[in-house]
Structure 1
């Protein structure tokens, strides 16, 4: 009799497991269909909002088109600067025991995947993502270098400051500078990538 009760309970558990599995599968199918539908709706909206190349070129002000070679001419010096700054940090930062700046934290290239951008807009987004990310990357390398070598605020007001500037010593405060320079250098050495 005890075996029969156990068999009945096991059968109920198996039935409930099968019901649960069927319900989960049905829910997954509904979710999958919703995601597919949403994806299709988004892609349709992107196709609708994308401006064709000919229309894009026809509606772009002439001076914008004429200035394009000037804008793109900066790319080669930027790539060279990128290479030099990267080599600088690879060589010098280990000597000073400064944690290297992760390039991928600053140079984010993802907007070219947006379906509502035409080919020209995608190239422009690649350019801006690279160039602005590069400036942030270089700025952080320079900021860490400045924190190591000369963490002193300027006497004059600075329009934009980097991420480390607020920790620097006041202009003319030789006492704090001499006491605190080792601490600021140690902070650089203890940072994680």
Structure 2
């Protein structure tokens, strides 16, 4: 069982690293687009990249065709959310590197899990706020808590990870109490 768990953790680590690299490349491209838009630089083939952003129930396709102010807002919003997700992935990678299956409970991993929960809640709140503002501006205000809603998924994810963090904290306390007893 230990060998199987170790293999699964290694495969998970590989996929998370791969997603992190892809997300980093995407953020780099978005940052280049922000600077090119602000400075008015024609970046040639970068304009061929089709970027779409979901805000609320609306999927905005090919955001490069939008006016400058709206384009900058969407690019900055996407970079901020992407950066928050990148930080969350960094915490997950740290957990995967530090966890030891023979002695899994440590206060350091508890703090990393708690940070992931707080960051997921912040991402959900920021998404909800931006969607709310976009709804007010466009006149299509819609607040939805169905399972397909991205905001709701982040709130749900944050809640589940927070509960796991609290159970993990209790396990750390029990393990340290057990270590002191022996």
TM-score by length of 2: 0.29
Larger radius of gyration: 1
TM-score by length of 1: 0.28
